[in-house]
Amino acid sequence: MKILVDADACPVTIRDILYRTSKRLQISVVLVANQSIRTPDSKLVTAVTVGDGADVADDRIVEMLDAGDLVITADIPLAARVVEKDAIAIGPRGERFDANSVQGRLAARNLMDQLRSAGMETRGPKPLGKKDIREFSNELDRTVTRLLKKSRQSDELRD
């Protein structure tokens, strides 16, 4: 199991939580971005820089993704692609994207895009707050625990 991060828009606070989780649980974290990203000195944390362009980072994340992996992203279309590959995505506010939730969120996102295209002004997301960070951290712990348990059970069945 690995954690892939849509790092271009991932807040530093969220990346710091991921680095601590990686160290504590010995889980690989891969940051994918269109720009160079500084990472801690760790064999478990790597950064992949991709070229500029729409969805280039998203495409690379999907290429690297295996079933049972975790992706950190606020990008709803990417989250939908992650779910299609039998993986889970979490947003930086702690929202979990899975087969039960991602289609509704994708439909809402598409509606907002249509409204903006028609000239309606919509607000962007509010700044990340302490509650959001706490919810992200809690959801990360729950999800990683569940995925690690599932991974261990699969390993035991193979042995």
Q: What is the CATH number of the domain that holds 148?
A: 3.40.50
Q: How far is residue 95's CA from residue 135's CA, in Å, rounded to a whole number?
A: 8
Output the CA torsion sign for 48, 25, 23, 141: positive
For residue 97, list its beta bridge partners.
Answer: 89
Q: Kindly tell me if the per-residue pLDDT of 101 is higher than 70.
A: yes
* 105-114: average pLDDT: 68
Q: How far is residue 3's CA from residue 90's CA, in Å, rounded to a whole number?
A: 10
Calculate the alpha carbon distances from 80 to 45, 86, 94, 121 in Å: 25, 10, 16, 25
Tell me the per-residue pLDDT of 147-156, one tens digit each, with 9 for 90 and over. Answer: 988 877 766 6
Instruction: Report the domain count for the chain.
Output: 1
Residue entry with tokens 């950064």: 47
- pTM of the model as a whole: 0.85
Structural domain for 134, as ranges: 2-158
Tell me the per-residue pLDDT of 26-39, one tens digit each, with 9 for 90 and over. Answer: 999 999 999 999 99
Task: Give the pLDDT score at 119.
Answer: 77
For residue 49, list its beta bridge partners.
Answer: 33
What backbone torsions phi and psi does residue 12 show, to the nearest 5 degrees?
-55, -40
- 80-89, 112-121, 132-141: segment of lowest average pLDDT: 112-121
Reported as type and span, the H/E element at residue 143 is: helix 130-158
